[in-house]
Amino acid sequence: MSLLELENVTLKFGGLTAVDNLSFSVEEGEVFAIVGPNGAGKSTVFNLISRFYTPVTGSIRFDGHDLLKEKSSRVADFGVARTFQNIELFEQATVLENLLVGRHRHRGSNFLTELFFTPSVRKQELQSRHFVEEIIDFLDLQAYREKRIAGLPYGVRKVVEVARALATDPKLLLLDEPASGLSVEETTDMRWWIDDIRRQMGITVLMVEHDMGLVSGVSDRVLAMADGARLALGTPTEVQSDPAVIEAYLGKAS
Amino acid sequence: MDILQLLISGLANGCVYGLIALGFVLIYKATEAVNFAQGDFMMLGAFVTIGLTNANYMGLPFWIAVPISIAIMALLGYLLDRFVIRFMFGESQTAVVILTIALGFVIRFFAGVIWGHEPQSLQSPFAGKEVAFGGLVLGMEDVAVIVVTILLTWGLYEFFNRTKLGLAMQGASQNQLAAYYMGVPVKRVQGFIWALAGGVACIAGILFAAKGAVDPNTGLMGIKAFAAAVIGGFGSLPGALAGGLIVGVIEPFASRYIAAGYSQVAPYALLLAVLIFRPHGLFSQVRVKKV
Amino acid sequence: MRIIFKTDYMQDLRPWKDGYQLSLYLLLIAAAIVAPFVFDAFFLGELTNVLIWALAGLGLMVLTGHTGQASLGHAAFLALGCYANIILVEAGVPFLIAFPLAGIITGLVGMVIAIPALRLHGIYLAIATMAMSILADDIIVLTEHWTGGVGGKYAPPVNVFGIDVDRWGTPKAFYYLVLGVTILVTLGYINLLRSPLGRSFIAVRDSEVSAQAMGIDVARTKAISFGISCAVTGLAGALMGLFAGAFNNETFSVVISIQLLMMIVIGGLGSIHGAFFGAIIIGFLPQFLSISKEWVGALVGGSNVAIPGLEFGIFGMILIMFILFEPMGIYGRWLKIRTWFELFPFYRKDMFKRQKSYLKTERLR
């Protein structure tokens, strides 16, 4: 069984069909990329999986759970973490605090134990910190640990967002344009990180990305979308040579 | 006939609320800021006009004093934007709200120092005159209030939806950076809108002072007018007026048909109901933040 | 120049950074404990007042400073706590039970109110809570049977562990009661802030969508924040009632709500220190003004003129200055000064610079 399965999902905003009868599945352990021109509905697919939107028809299953039956905040509990296209970090908190929020789904304490900061809460906090420090090491964020997000450069913020998603210890990581706005070196770093996330941590990655170099470099399979519908699905080379994809990007040769 | 009389006086009161609410909405529409000092602007406008017109102050003729005081208030609105609000560029809405509440305190303080804390009325040409429509006898000032309010709302509505500047203002509020790129002088537009709000507040103040008496704490009426703006749906000019009228009418009827104490309660109870069941006002569409 | 070397995760988990900071806070508590033996009854009363305001400020800080939900209606919860406490005491419940119960009742009511209020954002929430505060005034009048309506109620003397605690009779005992409650609440607050719940508050404040994506139930978190906030405010209200001695529907007017919000803004939103700094300003401003008025009066040679509204006028001006020039409040300024000394001579002006961004609408059409 696939880790994530979308089946015949359709979403409409008023008269506009944002996602049109879309089906695909992501296998455990792969890097799966979604490409497509602007407005193709790529980020909308992410928002559907995060349960920010509810589709008109279709089903979304993750790891044996029917996501459509769950609230948005439960999706993370099943092991889905994500980043955002326009960076949604906790601006007034430090990098460390941001990552610790990622540990929220492993919270075993409740209001009362936290109010008295019982030894069990202390132990949990130390464990969280330990986990988070490993991610800080992994993504080379040591220098920014105590810095507030509000003062950080764009490239670092992008990395912090990935780090925060990893801090949830996910099974599936959704990356929404991880390389947009990054310099060439930063994009190369991101590429190695995505590779390591899959190989070392064993996390399945689903990403939306425009940078075809990055996409063909790391992904096993690629889904090309246009106008909310599926254009092509296959290996990066197959998709790149698909006539429908070329047409969607370059227009029809007349 | 009794109900009709009650309705008309309620409508006249509602028009004043509506005019203050109009000021709220103007600023909100163009800058997404909420000016909680709008009621105090109104009070100040009333006092400036009283200071120019009334015999015990300067004693200028009414029709000369009115444009002068509107100009003074517009200038004040502009200066306020230029030297205070502009520094709040990019700050959160709540920060601006707190700033303008503080501003209200300061305005009330200065009005109290200059004009004292005794209630005062404006000596206007309408005072004491009556107009008869059939069997209905209306105070001239009530009629003036209603006529002026309708004209002003209609004018502003047309301005926002028909003229280039009006559309530019709406654009500026929704995405300042994009508006800049499209060649909208965002800062100048913002200054202009604050001046406009100052002028509208002054008109509201004049009408209010002609109908009754003002003292520095009249500015607190802004809270009720704000409730009216929210009831009507923030961001819609006719909505603001409608909200004002609803609040104005509901007050006398609540005290007449429920109990005297309820005229204070009714508008806020209505506000809470509207916020819970139609959070974006009776006359407005729902909006959601996009990720 | 003081540098803190971190060698252990516990250093970040403890509420204090190092022994130096711990000793400063212990010194402050010690000073607060000996205060009644140094100051006269009048000044002690002022100090008690400041602590009660600080407690109320802590209550609002949870909601506004840390969860980012501006409330202009907390006077209603002050009133609820005050009336609940007095009614319970009058019914024969011992103060030591009635007092926490008043807090719990207020907290639960706050949570219930939060459920519809949660659908509202930013300015809409502020106006809804403000309407609530205005209505609270009328509700007190309408429920005259319990609240005494316009006539009001008088606070009976209360008894803690066999010691009579009364604002006028035994001001020292009353001071210690307030101090004890304030310290306990502050400690609980610190604990919450270093636990997952406190972090989820901050997450909800800074970005609701990503809080949701991290598995935080935003609605539930806001409701809990509302509940905690109202409970603490209720405790403050109960103490405020005892402190005032007599109160009626006008004691907890909407102006108090506004004042409370302004207080924590001046003090510094999003920090426990801010609630205390703000309370000091609120508590001592009237004293400071009357002293300076006398001084100016003596200097000019005129009589002592009363200027109504002066307090609020000055208060408003201070607030405007802070919002324009130091949006982080007194606590922010304090941090800057401290950093300046700690890093001397390496402090740079832009160390605390905030990024300004263009306003983008939250509305969509």
Residue C2 lies in a domain: no
Q: Average pLDDT for consecutive 10-residue bins of chain A (254 residues)?
A: 90 86 93 89 91 92 92 91 90 92 91 92 93 94 90 91 95 93 91 93 93 90 91 91 83 61
Q: What is the pLDDT of residues A38-60, one digit of tens each?
A: 888 888 999 999 999 999 999 99
Cβ-contact B103, B37 below 8 angstroms:
yes
ipTM of the modeled complex: 0.91
Cβ-contact C198, A128 below 8 angstroms:
no
Maximum Cα–Cα distance across chain A? 73
Closest chain C residue by Cα to residue A82: C213
In this prediction, residue C285 carries a pLDDT of 85
| Pick from A131-145, B167-181, C70-84: least confident | B167-181
| In A68-211, alpha helices (H) | 72-78, 95-102, 111-116, 119-138, 154-167, 184-199
Residues 71-90 of B with CB under 8 A from C: 84, 87-90
Q: Per-residue pLDDT for C362 more than 60?
A: no
Question: Across residues C259-263, what is the average pLDDT?
Answer: 91
3-class state of residue A234 by DSSP: strand
Token readout for C146 is 């319990």
3-class state of residue C180 by DSSP: helix
Maximum Cα–Cα distance across chain B? 60
Q: What is the pLDDT of residues A98-133, one digit of tens each?
A: 999 999 999 988 999 999 999 999 999 999 999 999
Token readout for B5 is 């009389």
Q: Per-residue pLDDT for B286 more than 50?
A: no
In this prediction, residue B290 carries a pLDDT of 45
For residue C79, give every residue at least 6 positions away whose Cβ sits within 8 Å of its Cβ, in sequence order, or none: C136, C140, C237, C251, C252
Closest chain A residue by Cα to residue B289: A52
Question: Across residues C283-307, what is the average pLDDT?
Answer: 73
Q: Which residues of A touch C188 (CB under 8 A)?
A: 115-116
Question: Across residues C133-154, what is the average pLDDT?
Answer: 84
- Are B95 and C323 inside 8 Å of each other by CB? yes
- Are C364 and B290 inside 8 Å of each other by CB? yes
Element (H, E) at C293: helix C272-300
In this prediction, residue C169 carries a pLDDT of 80
Burial class (CB in 10 A: 0-12, 13-18, 19+), C302: exposed
Q: Which residues of B touch C254 (CB under 8 A)?
A: 223
Which of B89, B101, B117 minimises the CB distance to C356? Answer: B89
Q: Per-residue pLDDT for C132 more than 70?
A: yes
In residues, how long is chain A? Answer: 254
pTM of structure: 0.89
Cβ-contact C156, C90 below 8 angstroms:
yes
Q: What is the DSSP string of C298-316?
A: HHH-------TTHHHHHHH
B177 vs A: CB within 8 A: no
Closest chain C residue by Cα to residue B34: C123
Residue ranges of the domains in chain A?
1-74+205-254
Whole-angstrom distance, CA of residue B53 vs CA of residue B156: 27
Q: Per-residue pLDDT for B270 more than 90?
A: no
Contacting chains of A (3 CB pairs or more, <8 Å) are B, C
Element (H, E) at A7: strand A4-13
Cβ-contact B140, B131 below 8 angstroms:
yes
Cβ-contact B243, B281 below 8 angstroms:
yes
Name the domain count of chain C: 1
Q: Which of C359, C360, C361, C362 is most worth mutating to test chain B (most B CB atoms within 10 A of its CB)?
A: C359
Residue C274 lies in a domain: yes
Cβ-contact B149, B211 below 8 angstroms:
no
Residue C240 lies in a domain: yes
Look-up: residue for tokens 């004042």? Answer: C259
Cβ-based contacts under 8 A for chains B and C: 137
Whole-angstrom distance, CA of residue A55 vs CA of residue B189: 41
In this prediction, residue A252 carries a pLDDT of 64
The pLDDT confidence band at residue B13, using thresholds 50, 70 and 90, is confident
B114 vs C: CB within 8 A: no
**pLDDT above 70 covers what percent of chain C?**
92
Q: Which domain holds residue C155?
A: 36-351
Question: A66: alpha, beta or left, given left = phi > 0 and alpha = psi -120 to 50?
Answer: beta
Whole-angstrom distance, CA of residue A191 vs CA of residue A219: 10
3-class state of residue A66 by DSSP: strand
In this prediction, residue C222 carries a pLDDT of 93
Q: Per-residue pLDDT for B287 more than 60?
A: no
Q: What is the pLDDT of residues B105-155, one digit of tens each?
A: 899 989 988 888 888 888 877 777 777 776 677 778 888 888 889 898 889
Token readout for B25 is 């909405």
State whether CATH 3.20.20.70 applies to domain A1-74+205-254.
no
Question: Across residues C53-61, what is the average pLDDT?
Answer: 96
In this prediction, residue C306 carries a pLDDT of 63
HSE (side-chain half, CA atoms, 13 Å) at C205: 26
Q: Which one is predicted more confidently, C158 or B184?
A: C158
Q: Per-residue pLDDT for B235 more than 90?
A: no
Contacting chains of C (3 CB pairs or more, <8 Å) are A, B
In this prediction, residue C350 carries a pLDDT of 64
Looking up residue C284, the CATH number of its domain turns out to be 1.10.3470
Whole-angstrom distance, CA of residue C15 vs CA of residue C40: 33
Residues 246-285 of C with CB under 8 A from B: 254, 258, 261-262, 265
How close A119 gets to chain B, by Cα (Å)?
39
